[in-house]
Structure 1
Amino acid sequence: MALLDWLILIVPLLAIVGAAFYTQRYIHDAVDFLAAGRIAGRYAISVADLASGLSIITLVALSEQNYQCGFGVAFWNSIGIPVGIAMSLTGYCNYRWRQTRCLSRGQFIELRYGSKFFRVVTAVISTTAESVTNAIGPAIAARFFIYYLGLPHRFTFFGISLPCYGIVVVLCLTLAILLIWPSGRISLLITDCFQGLLTYPIFIILAGFILLKFSWDIDVLPVLINRAPQQSFVDPHQIRAFRDFNIFMITAELTSGVINRASWFGNDTTNSGRTPHEQKMAGILGAWRATFANMIILLIALMVYVFMTSGNFANRNNVFKCSNNEIRRELTTKIMDELHGDGLIDQDKHQTIQQKIDEMQDIAPGLTHSARPIAQIPNDTYQDGAIRHQEILVRKADGAIVTENPEDGSIVVCDNLDKHYFDVVYSELGQTPSGRSAFQQYRSKFQQMMMPVCLKNMFPIGLQGLFCLLAVMLLISTDDTRIFNAVGSIVQDIVLPYCKTRPTPEKHILLLRIWTILVGVFFFVVSMFFSQMDYIIMFTTIMSAVWLGAAGPIMVGGLYTRFGNLTGAWCAIVFGSGSTLLGMICQFRWASTIYPWLEKHQLIDKVGTAFTTLSKPFHPYIQWEMNAVRFPINSYEIFFFAMLISILTYTIGSFLTYKPYNLDKLLHRGKYADEKESPASLAAPENITSGKPGIFRRIWTFIQKNMLGIDSEYTRGDKIIAYSVFTYVIIYKFLIIFLGVFIYTKYISPWSQTAWGNYFLIVQIIIPIFLGLVTTVWFVWGTIKDIRQLFSDLENRKVDTTETGQL
């Protein structure tokens, strides 16, 4: 990067660190450190959650996913819109959680289920799953910066050869710890707000650059529609051939979104709201907050895919200073250097692969040719460049793989350009276990690091620095939050329950700071030994499922049911987490241990038949086929079945030992109510439908209360926000652009591939950019107002030194 880029990066970072240490003057007790004094406003919480929710690993993972499945699968995400908006508008879980006034998830579990031991067990499981899942963040981020900045894999310092990867990981974690140290949740809330506000203008600049550099009709659309049958990037009706990222994945995510709504509550901003109503409104604002961020991630992934697969960029042109062939060579060279430096490949193989990569001719992707329209081409199944089909496979003289249909002679070019490089590397590494392992690492890093190498070569001076600043902010806003969440869980739910006396505020805060360093060390150790062979999303799904596979009924059942009890909770943990661990072991040990054992005992056919029979009713979205390398059941499928098992066992176990629980006491309702926190709820209910006669009044009351979640605590401005979110999300996004489009294209008049491409241009890019411009002004104003109010309230807050989260 140029000097200007480094200034763009360093100056805002210094301001962020300075803001963190400025907040230290407002820290008085553990409630301040853990929950920002419980006096944060809705905009501050919403924008801070945006910053902490985005991360480099999210950017890389979603880019990796979109590179594989495009827009078509994403269309079906809209199925969950009514569920998501209902949860937001009604304050599902958020409102009740804030009513409990718990400082941690473990405190709630002990209050609800009456067992300190169960609190510690769940804390250990959830913290371990969360920490291992999140600890790969610095690993992915460090490698991202090495490839984006063009740093060497090793450098010499006073004659000592040091790994650049380890140094970058230390710098990332040190920066995150620096933001936590001054005042915990207060400094995180303020710095995350600052970073969240900076991301909005950067998003606008990035969107403008991408739209100016790429022509939709010339560059983008031809690439999106040049796909194999049933692997459409734009037509949601033609996606049956996708294996991992498909409709079932969306079903599992939707189920988890409902069941695990409260599973990560307790050590984040869910404790920080001024009142339960303010916490609820922060969740509602999230519907507007996330629109722009989701669009820019999709746009970056789209830019990378188009650049890497379009024939327009196979050679250098006037648009960019490099070609996609040069990107692949640079990427392969850098990965080979890393694998050689780590001792995974020897010098001879390293030189041979490098020589063959240098000698490869530039590959220009072909166009799709067919005697009929694309939509009429017979269906086949293709995966990751490896073709599985029932038609004739032909390799032309130019190296392109094509399928020829015996009946009509239609031809479709379906070769994955990356596969040419994969073939060269795989042929040299050979069939040995160590060679296959090295190839898996090469392919995984190739897919993950394609984005930073592309962007480094595509962005001009100035924009390189802006994107690097965005990446660093995404890194620290996520790492500091996840480290702090783990610290809160360890201290509040594992350490303090066994302390015989309540610590003073000073000792409590010191304990939290010490554990911040220890958790940072744990993240560093995991990052240094991290080796991930699957898609990032698949890895994080199976790791987090160790807790999420069991947590849903424990948390939601604890907040909403009177029948849920300790027996049911133990059943959920044993069977939910247990089934996930079993699936994880099968995934990790399948190729090296399980499959060879089955082969030795001649059980391959029998087990393979069993897998095929069980999955057959769910074809084509679930296909369990025997494979020597990969466990037939993927991470989403394991996760989904674990959730179902935990719900069933929680319910059965609870009813077998049924004893009604006093929810009013837990939620501070009725005679247990706190007048300072919910004065509006104790007053006479407001007549929100005054003047509406008869049946219309009753219908309107029902809609406002049950569909919009409006109650006596809503001001006029709150109602406007609720109405706007309902109109945008339900009427526009769900009824018009999803359900209406689905019915029209499925049953009335099917759209062409070009029509679907233009639909996604308007719906997923143009309209979100317009909304992003509006919400940027809105949220900047609201956040600045909330931050000023937060500082004022922190100065005047009454301190309760006895509140530590202990029972």
Structure 2
Amino acid sequence: MITLNWIVVLLFICGLTACAAYTRKYLRNVESFLAAERCGGRYMISVSNSMAGLGVISLMYLFQISYDTGFTSNWWFMVSGTFSPVAIFIALSGWVVYRFRQTRAMTLPEFLEMRYSRGFRVFAGIVAFVSGILNFGIFPSIGARFFMFFCDLPETFKLFGLPLEVQMFPFIMVIILGISVFFTFSGGQITVMFTDFIQGAFTTFVFALVVGCLFHTFSKTEIAETVLSASSGRSLVNPFDLAKEENFNIRFYLIAIFMNFYLLLAWQGTAGYNCCAKNPHEAKMAKVLEPWKLLGIIPVLTVFMPIGVRIYTQHENYADKAVEVNAALNEYVAEDLAKLAQDNDSRADDYLLLSTLNNAEAEQLTAIYKKSDQILEESDYAGVEPLQGRKPEEVSKLARLYHDKTDEVSSQMRLPLVIGNIIPVWLKGLFCAAMLAAFISTHNTYLHSWGSMFMQDVVLPFRKKPLSNKHHLRLLKLAMIGVAIYVFFFSLNFKHAQRIMLYCQITASIFFAGAGTVIIGGLYWKRGTNKAAWFAMAAGVIFSIIAIMITQSGVSAVDGAIEKPFWVSVTSGLEKIGCAEAFWEMARNIFALNSQEFLFIISCLCITIYVITSLVSKEPAHNMDKLLHRGKYAIKDDQIAQLNKEDSIASRLGLSKSFTKGDCAIAIVSIVWIVFWLIVFIAGSVMRKSITDTQWLDFWYVWMWVMYIVGIIVMIWLTIGGFKDLKVFIKTLKGLGQDEA
């Protein structure tokens, strides 16, 4: 980046730091730190909360999904995303949320204690925390690598002219984590919400400019020639032609729909925003508005940018530039493979051989992997000099090993490297600042959420005496520092081997797999027992950890294991009973499963364990009337408890008497928007066999323009509303008194 770009980034950091410092004086007590004095408005919360979930890591995994599957992912997001018919159905039925509200529990841990036991509440809190920080652990590394490759920074540099060389990767992590910690410490949730809103408004504006530049840079002809060249089974335009896609195929989205029902209320990563609204109605409206913030510009950006990367690296108009990118990629991958050769004795020779491949040879080996369902012959790799003399079976194993160890790192490097070349110089500094904002907004929110959860649900339940405000705040801050230190060292030493989205899914599975069972079972089944909850949660932890190890290894791990002495003896024993081949085929199938599939399988296992344990234990049925405040336990004038099956559709959707005409209009427009795209989805699904790839492309091109225009309108609407809320937010805080902390 040029000097002017760095000045833009520096000015942005200074402005954001000034905002954080300004909010420090409003931190009064623990409630201020955890819940921002509960004075957030709907627009401010919706923009801030959506920004908290839109970090560099979120954008990167969406970029990866779209790079692998093109436009097709957006088709399935119509029915599996947060703004989908599934959301309408959940709202209409009151699934989980309605009964949870009947319990009158303020938080998920409080409900778990009410339904099961205090011990289980603490255990579940520990599991949620461990799952969360494992999930959070790779966030800094993803962000640091993005900035290194996007800004074309060197791997080492000399700080202040000193002879000691500093590694750029950990240096970037220290700087951006330090900024995030500072923002969190300044005023807790007050600062987090304030700065997240500013960052949300800024990034949406910048992303709108970037999308406009992409429309100007790449013609429809270039888009068509690139995406229509994809092979059968890996279509980038036809959502029903994904048979050979390993990760983000139709199964992935069907499981996502199931998880929308199964995991409702389970995620705690942005828990700080769950309790900072000025009243329940504002909280409800914030939830209605939140999907609109992620609608329009973000979907277009996350699909158009990866398509632009494909055009840049594959289209003949950019052939000269693609050579430079591929050379840089190959050099980085070769160094990575050479390091693996030093750390791995059993397959060191294979890693060394793979590290010698040039660009053309590496591409040919990748092509061999993608055709693994076909019979491989020596002529298929005749042009790859290092593979000459090797049998097809050996080459297939090498192709799998190369894919397992280089595919993810290549993806993480390719996207920011090419994006840095696509974006014009005048916009590069703004985009870098926007991505930095995305990084900070996620990290300060997650530091706040996981640090708070550790103290509130893991540590404090063991204390008998209440803490003073000052002592409580000090412990909360220490917990957040601990989380920051942990994620730094985890990112520094751990390298995941699968797509970012899939890593996040399998680490979240540690808590998710069991949590869905105990939440749904606890709310809907009187026979569900405390013992069953413990067993289901423990099973989710154990099986998920095993799944993490499997997904980190890949199918190539099976190829390496076969040759080890222990497994050689196992194979010989299995051969005597004629099932050695079946055993290793089963092992390959298990190691070929992706994290989404593991999450589904483990969740089903947890459900089974919960049901069987509950039935076998024969404990007395739980008093559901008491839990849900029904019958003789009903509370007079309690609107939550008095809702019934005869309620109108409007009531079930939450359109209560507290809704103004404007609120009703927003809710109705939201529903109409979802229903419109549901009709499009059904029509496209019914006519899928008669729609050509060219017609699919025409549809997606129109879709991008429609979403872009709608996105600009929504951006203006939410930004104006958000700044009005911000003004009221500051005025309210001023009226609450001076700093007591």
State the shift of 1:97 in Å: 6.0
Q: Specify the alignment match of 1:291 in structure 2.
A: 295
Moved more, 585-594 or 254-263: 585-594
**Secondary structure at the counterpart of residue 45 of structure 2:** helix
Counterparts of 1:337 and 1:594, CA distance in 2: 24
| Aligned partner letter, 2:730 | F
- Cα offset, 1:441, TM superposition: 4.5
| Match runs of 1:341-380 below 5 Å | 357=358
- Distance across 2 between alignment mates of 1:93 and 1:796: 37
**Aligned ranges for residues 19-34 of structure 1 at < 5 Å?**
19-34=19-34
Q: Does 2:661 match 1:716?
A: yes
Do the aligned partners of residues 50 and 657 (structure 1) sit closer, same or farther apart at CA in structure 2, a change above 3 Å counting?
same
Whether 1:206 aligns to 2:210 is yes
Q: Tell me whether 174-183 or 26-35 shows the greater mean CA deviation.
A: 26-35
Aligned partner of 2:128 in structure 1 is 126
* Partners of 2:495 and 2:230 in 1: CA distance: 32
Q: How is 1:337-736 mapped onto 2 (pairs within 5 angstroms)? A: 357=358, 385-389=370-374, 441-558=405-522, 564-588=528-552, 591=557, 595=562, 596=564, 597-602=566-571, 603=574, 606=579, 609=582, 626=588, 631-654=591-614, 656-661=618-623, 702-706=648-652, 708-730=653-675, 732-735=676-679
The 1-side partners of 2:640 and 2:131 are apart by: 38
Letter in 1 for 2:569: K
**Contact persistence 1:111–1:666 (CA under 8 A):** no
How far apart, in 2, do the equivalents of 1:336 and 1:463 lie? 32
Decide whether the 8 Å contact of 2:203 with 2:435 is kept in 1: no
2:709 corresponds to 1:770: yes
| Amino acid corresponding to residue 649 of structure 1 in structure 2 | I
1:111 paired with 2:114, answer yes
Residue aligning to 1:804: none
Q: Relative to 1, partners in 2 of residues 1:774 and 1:61: Cα closer, same or farther, differing over 3 Å?
A: same
1:221-232 equivalences under 5 Å are 221-232=224-235
- Amino acid across the alignment from 1:772: G
Q: Which amino acid aligns with 2:595?
A: S
CA deviation map 1:27-53 (0-9, x unaligned): 222222112223322212211122111
> Matches of 1:436 and 1:755 in 2, distance apart?
35
Give the Cα–Cα distance (whole angstroms) in 1 for the partners of residues 686 and 404 of structure 2.
Answer: 42
> In the alignment, which of 329, 332, 339 is matched to residue 331 of structure 1?
329
Please state which structure has a larger fraction of its residues in helix: 2
| Structure 1 residues 222 and 130: CA distance shift in structure 2, 3 A | same
Asked whether 1:167 is paired with 2:111, we answer no
Residue 551 of structure 1 deviates from its aligned partner by: 0.9
Contact 2:368 2:399 in 1 (8 A): no
Assess if the C-alpha contact under 8 Å between 1:73 and 1:239 holds in 2. no
Is the CA contact (8 Å cut-off) linking 1:313 and 1:324 kept in structure 2?
yes
SS across alignment from 1:314: helix
1:20 and 1:179 in contact (8 A); partners too: yes
Counterparts of 1:638 and 1:760 in 2: how far apart (Å)? 31
Cα deviation code 1:321-351 (max 9, x no counterpart) = xx111111123334545777899599x9999
CA 1:435–1:388: 2 relative to 1, 3 Å: closer
Structure 2 distance, partners of 1:164, 1:311, is: 34
Query: 1:50 aligned to 2:50?
Result: yes
Q: CA deviation at 1:102?
A: 6.1
CA deviation after TM superposition for structure 1 residue 751, in Å? 1.5
| Separation (CA, whole Å) in 2 of partners of 1:53 and 1:670 | 42
**Rounded Cα–Cα distance in structure 1 between residues aligned with 2:385 and 2:181:** 40
User: What one-letter code is carried by the residue in structure 2 that aligns with 1:85?
Assistant: I
Structure 2 Cα separation of the partners of residues 351 and 575 of structure 1: 39
Asked whether 1:303 is paired with 2:303, we answer no
Describe the shift of the 1:220–1:263 C-alpha distance in structure 2 as closer, same or farther (beyond 3 A).
Answer: same
Map 1:76-155 onto structure 2 (within 5 A). Answer: 76-80=76-80, 81-87=84-90, 105-115=108-118, 117-155=119-157
Indicate if the aligned counterparts of 1:668 and 1:674 stay in contact, CA closer than 8 A: no
Please tell me the root mean square deviation across aligned C-alpha atoms, in Å. Answer: 4.1
Answer yes or no: is 1:738 the counterpart of 2:681.
yes
Residue 10 to residue 87, structure 1, CA distance change in 2 (3 Å): farther
Alpha-carbon distance in structure 2 between the residues aligned to 1:528 and 1:494:
26
Contact 2:40 2:276 in 1 (8 A): yes
Q: Tell me, yes or no, if structure 1 residue 786 matches structure 2 residue 725.
A: yes
TM-score (norm 2): 0.86
Q: Evaluate the alpha carbon distance shift between residue 496 and residue 58 of structure 1 in structure 2; reply closer, same or farther with a 3 A threshold.
A: same
8 Å Cα contact 2:108/2:265 also seen in 1 = no
What CA distance in whole angstroms lies between the structure 2 residues aligned with 1:634 and 1:118? Answer: 30
Distance 1:300 1:672 in 2: 54
* 8 Å contact from structure 1 (residues 567, 657) kept in 2: no
TM-aligned CA distance change 1:173 to 1:104, over 3 Å: farther
776 and 257 in structure 1: CA distance in 2 versus 1, 3 angstrom threshold:
same
Compared CA separation, residues 664 and 383, structure 1 to 2 (3 A): farther
For 1:176, what is the secondary structure of its paired residue? helix
2:260 and 2:407 mapped to 1: Cα distance? 31
In structure 2, do the counterparts of structure 1 residues 649 and 282 end up closer, same or farther at CA, with 3 Å as the change threshold?
A: farther
Aligned position for 1:233: 236
3-state SS of 1:705 partner = helix
The offset of 1:666, in angstroms, is 7.2
- Kindly indicate whether the alpha-carbon contact (under 8 Å) linking 1:48 and 1:192 is maintained by their aligned counterparts in 2: yes
CA distance in 2 between partners of 1:421 and 1:289 (Å)? 52
Task: Extract unaligned runs of 5+ from structure 1.
Answer: 316-322, 366-380, 400-419, 613-623, 686-697, 802-807
**Does structure 1 conserve the Cα–Cα contact (< 8 Å) formed by 2:338 and 2:352?**
no
Q: Write the deviation string for residues 535-567 of structure 1: whole angstroms up to 9, x where unpaired.
A: 222222211111111111223444566554423
> How many Å separate the matches in 2 of 1:489 and 1:310?
49
Structure 1 pair 558–196 and aligned structure 2 pair: CA distance change class (3 A) = farther
Any unmatched runs of 5+ in structure 2?
Answer: none
- Count of aligned pairs: 712
Instruction: Give the Cα separation in 1 of the matches to 2:107 and 2:536.
Output: 20
Distance 1:610 1:184 in 2: 54
Once the two structures are TM-superposed, the CA of residue 520 in structure 1 deviates from its matched residue by 0.6
- Report the Cα offset of residue 481 of structure 1: 1.3
Secondary structure class of the residue paired with 1:245: coil
Change (3 A) 1:755 1:589: closer
Task: Check 1:226–1:302 CA distance in 2 against 1; reply closer, same or farther (3 A cut).
Answer: same
Q: What's the secondary structure of 2:657's corresponding residue?
A: coil
Cα distance between partner residues in 1 of 2:403 and 2:602: 32
Equivalent pair of 1:104/1:267 in contact (CA under 8 Å):
no
In the alignment, is the contact (CA less than 8 A) between 1:75 and 1:738 conserved in 2? yes
State the alpha-carbon separation in 2 of the partners of residues 102 and 423 from structure 1. 63
1:529, 1:92 → 2: CA distance? 41
Q: Report deviation, 1:780.
A: 0.7
Shift of 1:178: 0.7
Amino acid paired to 1:606: C
C-alpha contact (below 8 Å) 1:344/1:434 kept by paired residues:
no
Q: Distance in 2 between matches of 1:654 and 1:49?
A: 38
Comparing 557-566 with 137-146, which one deviates more in the overlay?
A: 557-566
CA separation in 2, counterparts of 1:297 and 1:10? 26
Write the letter of the residue equivalent to 2:693: Q
Distance 1:798 1:17, change over 3 A: closer
The one-letter code sitting in structure 2 at the alignment partner of 1:715 is T
Distance 2:429 2:417 in 1: 14
